[in-house]
Amino acid sequence: MPLDPSGPGLAGPAWMLAVVFLPLAGALLCFLLPRLAAPVGLVAAALTAASTLALTLAVMADGTARTQLGGWAAPLGILWRADGLSVALLAMTAAVGVTVSLYATAYFRNDEHERTFFWPLWLLLWTALNALFVSADLFNLYVTLELLGFAAASLTALGGSAAALTGAIRYLLVSVLGSLSYLLGVALIYHGCGTVDLALVAACVPDAPRPAMQVAAGAMIAGLLLKTALFPFHFWLPPAHGSAPAPVSAVLSALVVKASFYLVLRLWVDVLGGGGRWVAELLGVLGAAAVLWGSVLALRQERLKLLIAYSTVAQVGYLFIAFPLAVAGGAVAWTGALYLALAHGLAKAAMFLSAGNLLRFGGHDRIAELDSAVHRLPLTLTAFALAGVSIMGLPPSGGFIGKWLLLEAAFEQERFGLVAVILLGGVLAAAYVFKVVGHAFTPAARERRIRAVPPGMEWSALLLAAAAIVLGLTLPLISPLLQLGPASAASAVTLAAGGGA
């Protein structure tokens, strides 16, 4: 059963504030005290994760938590709301965030310049993510999107190479373009409804001028699809993710693209009431194309980080295959897509951290020259292989649960074309995962110059990969958090009408 959104709703407002303002305070302290950036950043990460756990437990126990900033109710005030979907993504963000923070202390240990700038930017990005997941009005969501985009682009440029700077500039331009498209939609909705509160907009949309609302929804979703890197808008993602430092690539792939997908889903379910059938079919077609195209390009890559980046393009496609299935009545498709989003976040972060270890070990990430890495970095290769199990969708991983639920919905609706895409995507994922593992197990043709990899970097990747596997065993616990349906919007309106502080 889904969580009851009509519960007390007051169980976690303090924790909701904490998950946003703790990383923000940490970012400011890291900026003011650059020599203490690493220990301050670790403390901020630990406190943010602890607050996220407390908020998650509060929402699981009492239902949706909400708070009005400054005590002002909508439409004048800003409402923050944390429901099951919010806390599920907050928890995944915290798991990846803490592990990446631990990894980064070793990764940037000998580079003062990168260490100085990484921590404030990373904590600022974490702040934006958490604020986005709890925001409940369209303009506040725009602000968090902008903050997220600027922090992500700055982190992408952290490496300082020509490729990193080019990828960062492209990332920034795409981010700004997507945000402006989203803002255009917000302006049209405000003109038609006189409010930007999600619940009040949902109540207004049926009576608002239909052409204006259609243009607004189209502009917002198009901008968010660009930020999510759904095919054919994926051109910016591989260069940015492939050239960034490993901890940055991990958070970009695991977390940042999920934020814009989360907003598409919120708009689709809570504001648009499930959207239109032809739009859902279009999203499904683009998702299927992304699965196949991204997988084929991943298989053709000669560099490990680019392979993982194109794999992200493919995995994003699965999330959008759920739209036509859900519109046709397959509510289980939403659970499958969201389970895949959580599993992908953990597994893809583990893959990029593993790639960072291999890059540190050999000084490069050329797949053909990873020979004998398994003998020197067994934990890293184990982490990559376990993450690959989830990406392929093999049991008992979280990826398996997500794909199984999508397949169940597709079979029930006799959408055999989507069934074929999901299965073929798994086969192609197995091909590029085994391509890497096979080269890593190949005996070395000659001795190569290698560098030691700190144990903390190996264990960080392994912990995330193991979490992606364990996620598949927690379906009864997590499934209630991921229930979406038409009732979401109605209950949101009830909450807004009832107020609450």
Q: What is the pLDDT of residue 183?
A: 92
For the entire predicted model, the pTM comes to: 0.89
DSSP assignment letter at 366: B
Q: Give the type of residue at 455.
A: P
Report how far residue 100's alpha carbon sits from residue 48's, in angstroms, rounded to the nearest whole number: 13
DSSP calls for 321-336: HHHHHHHTT-THHHHH
Question: What pLDDT score was predicted for residue 445?
Answer: 59
Structure-derived torsion over alpha carbons of residues 264, 288, 300, 471, reported in degrees to the nearest 10: 60
Q: Which pLDDT value is given to residue 487? A: 37
Q: Look at residue 75 in the predicted model and tell me its pLDDT.
A: 61
pLDDT under 50 in the chain at which residues? 1-10, 485-501
Say how far apart CA 29 and CA 34 lie, in whole Å: 8
Per-residue pLDDT of 149-198, as tens digits, reads: 899 988 988 877 788 888 888 888 988 999 899 999 889 888 888 888 88
CA distances (Å), origin 336, targets 85, 144, 340, 341, 344: 13, 27, 6, 9, 12
Phi and psi based region of residue 127 (left: phi greater than 0; alpha: psi -120 to 50; beta: remaining): alpha
Q: Tell me, what's the pLDDT at 164? A: 80
Residue 334: what pLDDT? 86
For residue 203, what pLDDT is reported? 82
